[in-house]
Amino acid sequence: MSNTTVIKSEKKIKEEKELARIPGCKISSKNKLIKFGVGKGSNFEVPIDFGVNYPGVLAPTVLSFLRGEGEKQNIFIEGIAFVNSDYGVEKEQFEFYYNFTYKSSGDYQLNIYMTFIHSDKNNKKGFIAYPFLMEFYKGAIQCSEKQYVPLEKIQTVELFVVNRNPETSRGTVTTIKPSSGTPGF
């Protein structure tokens, strides 16, 4: 066995351990009940210099709506994730995972993990804002008995942006609002 093979195996093991810390199921383009996309990043600077190093990720801004009826019913999620510009992360490097929790109120919460891997660097005030969209259609979210969770039972969405190396994250909770009927919402 060559040294190259050993190094690749050690790297793969490290990546698998990092992924083991992310709860839930990976969202794949093969899943036709969940649609997602990340837009091109735009530079964003904090306009005031407070003389501190900002973290690698800031809490994302998220909106969520329950749209449609019947088979077209979906939870529509739109947001912006802010990642330190020193990381050099490209939109193709993001991966998404999801799970859901049953809260003591009897409502469900959808948890989404927007992940990437990059070594930690901090800068004074520069970030890249990545817009993203997600749609979870009827039947996409299942409990342990493989029964579908009705989308109208999901009351909140919590989205985490996670740098897996080193592990840092920021999360935001938003309430799912009924659609206003406005096209696009």
The boundaries of the domain holding residue 115 are 24-178
At residue 185, the pLDDT reads: 42
Residue 3 is assigned to a structural domain of this protein: no
What would the two tokens of residue 147 be? 């029964």
Residue 57: closest CA among 47, 71, 68, 44: 44
Full-model pTM = 0.78
Structural domain count of the chain: 1
Taking only the tens place, the pLDDT of each residue in 5-55 is: 555 455 555 555 455 578 888 999 999 999 999 999 998 877 766 776 667
Neighbouring C-beta atoms of residue 144, cutoff 10 Å = 5
- Confirm whether 121 is domain-assigned: yes
Question: Does residue 184 form part of some domain?
Answer: no
In this structure, is residue 29 part of a structural domain?
Answer: yes
Residues of the chain short of pLDDT 70, as ranges, are 1-20, 48-49, 52-54, 119-125, 164-169, 180-185
Question: What does the alpha-carbon distance between residue 103 and residue 50 come to, in Å, rounded to a whole number?
Answer: 38
pLDDT for the residue numbered 120: 56
pLDDT at 158: 93
Within-domain flag for 146: yes
41 domain-assigned = yes
Tell the residue number behind the tokens 């979870």, with chain if given: 136
